[in-house]
Chains A and B, each alone.
Chain A
Amino acid sequence: MNTRRHIRDQRGSVLIVAMLVTAMLALVLASYFNLSLTSSRQTRRTFDRNTAFHLAEAGVEEAVWSYNQTLAGSTDAWRLWDTDGMAAWRRFNDFTLTSGSTGSVKVYASNTAPTGSTRPSIIAESTVETNTIGAATQMIEVTLRRRSFFSNGLTARRTLAFKGTNTSFDSWDSDPDRNPATAPVDYSTAVRKDVNGIASASLDTTAVLVNQATVYGFVSTGGQSPKVGVNGLIGPFGTAPGTLDSTRVATDFVANFPVFPAPTDGTYVSPLGTTLGTLGQTTRWRTPNIKLSGKQTLTILGDVTLILTAPVGTSALDMAGTSSIIIPAGSNLTLYAEGDIKIAGQGLANGNTQPASFKLWGTNTTETGQSITLTGKGALRAVVYSPNGDVALNGNGDMMGAVVARDITLTGNATYHYDSALADLEDNAPYGPASWRLITSSAERRSLSAHFQGW
């Protein structure tokens, strides 16, 4: 009787134990499920944030495109944007994303018509929404500046060669305060620097041939190390001959070399007299070519733009004898030519301190080439941009400015001084980023979000 009762008392205990075990198993499984779910959500969140990052970048690119289209003369660049006359804003939401996500980016451009050295900014706020975990956002602010083709002293598409035994390269800054109202600084050994560079975009072993020259600065090539002779050097001041300072050589240089067609405006004049332009005035002229010989001179007065219309393969400017082109202090000359240029004789008598007072734009759009020979007597101050031109710099004096060309050759005892103020010369250059920031602080995001309210 007692035994039967004892067994009856224990009935149901198995069920309790089984329920306890099941509950513990359920608890463990729930923990696993929760862990997996959290991990999955974190992964998804990271994926969405990465996607949002790229959307924000795409938004910035759209605005940069519009800025550069405006520079290129397009009147449609901001057509699809909302604008208040100054700023512009637009929402892009035609992105196809996978896994049920939707993405959009709002872009705000601060100033659609910047003037002078004004630097417009672009702010992009992107959002990627996924039903299960909500929205991931990213915000990027990019400040733009006009690029310069002259951020290096000498830039070649193909070969940059020093052929003289005493040729050298260094730099200085003619406008250290970036204030045109203050007097420019002339080159001297007291202000010279060894922190700027020369470059070639060529992948060949002949990209930069320093040979026996002295390069106080940096060298960039498209892939191969520059060639330095036993008496040549690349490095800072004080570097011994025969030294190639490897910390000053980069082998990943790439650059665009856009070719600009010659302007089609300007008052036709032929032949030219002994002066061109008017002091204190901006004038634009066009003429087939210039040929100076004997003691002939051409004096530039005021701010003169001259377009030489001689075609490719013919002489656009030819100087011989003791002829010279004179640019008095305060005047400046911008020359466009697709024909060959030879400045010799007494050369270019530029009375200005800054090389930007004489700019030569080579407009040859073909690979036929354009021969540009600059021979200096005394100090030659010039800025040359000719992506299809072969530039020869000959002389025994100081040459100052910057050169961009297909091939560049320095011969004689030419000492080349790059004016680093030219790194801010914006002529014909597109917009590029001056600074790029991912906005991460919540306070700053809140502040910038004001641009995105209500649309």
Chain B
Amino acid sequence: MIASTLSVMVMAGVLSAFLFFGRTGLAAGHYQEMETELRHSLELFSEDVRMATDIRWGGAWQITLTVPDQTGTIRSVSYTFEPSRSGASTGALHRILEDGRREILVNNVASDFAFKRYKLEQPGVADNTAGNDLETKQLQLNLRTLRVTTGGPDSTQAAISARYILRNKRVSR
């Protein structure tokens, strides 16, 4: 009887430890997956922005960049946040090329996603938010991605990118 009780207690401890390890492992896996997605996305985004000669602002959820390729041919690249059709509060960040090819860069992105556009830094000016495409010289990406863990807390990862400069865009016309 005593042995059975002790065994049950030990087994309960062992099982709960494994459950804990499992959940933590799942969360760690989620973080790893989100971090990999974000790293890849920011790398692509920074490359496109830095090489862009122009930008068309479609709002906080959509921008189109004009990017020359290695032959000098101009092509457009769009970044779009598309909310989930299922009505969930999340969506996905897409990178869409001129020929229609699209790549989902980040899944399960919260709807507070936003592109931000900025002018060149001006002395004495606190808010450098750009008001139109002409004066947009820097772009930033703010997003929060999340993974739902059944029976446990959700995993979230927030990313605020650097303000990448559009190096090939003319300063003025």
Pair A252/B135 contact, Cβ less than 8 Å: yes
Q: Say yes or no: is B85 at the interface (Cβ < 8 Å to chain A).
A: no
B168 contact set on A, CB distance < 8 A: 433, 435-436
Pair A218/B134 contact, Cβ less than 8 Å: yes
B130 contact set on A, CB distance < 8 A: 252
Pair B119/A438 contact, Cβ less than 8 Å: no
Residue count of chain A within 8 Å CB distance of chain B:
43
Pair B131/A151 contact, Cβ less than 8 Å: no
Q: Say yes or no: is A24 at the interface (Cβ < 8 Å to chain B).
A: yes
What 0/1 pattern do residues 12 to 44 of B give for CB contact below 8 A with A?
001001100100110011011001100100010
Query: How far is A150 from B101 in the complex, measured between Cα atoms in Å?
Result: 40
Please report which residues of chain B, range 56-110, place their CB below 8 angstroms from some CB of chain A when the two chains form the complex.
68, 70, 72
B173's contact among A39, A196, A436, A444, by CB below 8 Å, is which?
A196
Pair A250/B28 contact, Cβ less than 8 Å: no
B120 contact set on A, CB distance < 8 A: 252, 254
Pair A247/B132 contact, Cβ less than 8 Å: yes
Chain A min CB distance to B99 (Å): 17
Chain A min CB distance to B147 (Å): 15
Pair B171/A254 contact, Cβ less than 8 Å: yes
Q: Say yes or no: is A288 at the interface (Cβ < 8 Å to chain B).
A: no
Q: Say yes or no: is B133 at the interface (Cβ < 8 Å to chain A).
A: yes
Pair A252/B128 contact, Cβ less than 8 Å: yes
Q: Say yes or no: is A42 at the interface (Cβ < 8 Å to chain B).
A: yes
Q: Say yes or no: is A21 at the interface (Cβ < 8 Å to chain B).
A: yes
B18 contact set on A, CB distance < 8 A: 24, 28
Q: Say yes or no: is B158 at the interface (Cβ < 8 Å to chain A).
A: no
Pair A39/B32 contact, Cβ less than 8 Å: yes
Query: How far is A21 from B173 in the complex, measured between Cα atoms in Å?
Result: 71
Pair B167/A248 contact, Cβ less than 8 Å: no
Residue count of chain B within 8 Å CB distance of chain A:
40
Pair B51/A217 contact, Cβ less than 8 Å: no
Query: How far is A352 from B43 in the complex, measured between Cα atoms in Å?
Result: 52
Pair B32/A440 contact, Cβ less than 8 Å: no
Pair B35/A39 contact, Cβ less than 8 Å: yes
Pair A250/B172 contact, Cβ less than 8 Å: yes
Please report which residues of chain B, range 124-173, place their CB below 8 angstroms from some CB of chain A when the two chains form the complex.
124-125, 128, 130-135, 137, 167-168, 170-173
Pair A251/B172 contact, Cβ less than 8 Å: no
Q: Say yes or no: is A35 at the interface (Cβ < 8 Å to chain B).
A: yes
New contact pairs (20) apart from A25-B17, A217-B173, A437-B70, CB-CB < 8 Å: A24-B18, A28-B18, A31-B25, A32-B24, A46-B39, A152-B173, A196-B173, A203-B125, A223-B122, A223-B125, A246-B131, A248-B134, A250-B132, A252-B128, A252-B137, A433-B168, A436-B167, A436-B168, A438-B50, A438-B51
A-side residues, CB < 8 A to B, are 21, 24-25, 28, 31-32, 35, 38-39, 42, 46, 49, 151-152, 195-197, 199, 203, 217-218, 220, 222-223, 246-255, 433, 435-441, 444
Q: Which 10 A-B residue pairings sit nearest by Cβ, starting from the closest?
A: A252-B119, A250-B135, A220-B172, A218-B173, A197-B173, A252-B120, A436-B167, A250-B134, A28-B21, A247-B132
B-side residues, CB < 8 A to A, are 14, 17-18, 21, 24-25, 28-29, 31-32, 35-36, 39, 43, 47, 50-51, 68, 70, 72, 119-120, 122-125, 128, 130-135, 137, 167-168, 170-173
A-B contact pairs, 16 of them (CB 8 A): A32-B24, A35-B29, A38-B32, A39-B35, A46-B39, A203-B123, A203-B124, A223-B124, A247-B132, A252-B128, A254-B120, A255-B171, A436-B50, A438-B47, A438-B51, A440-B47
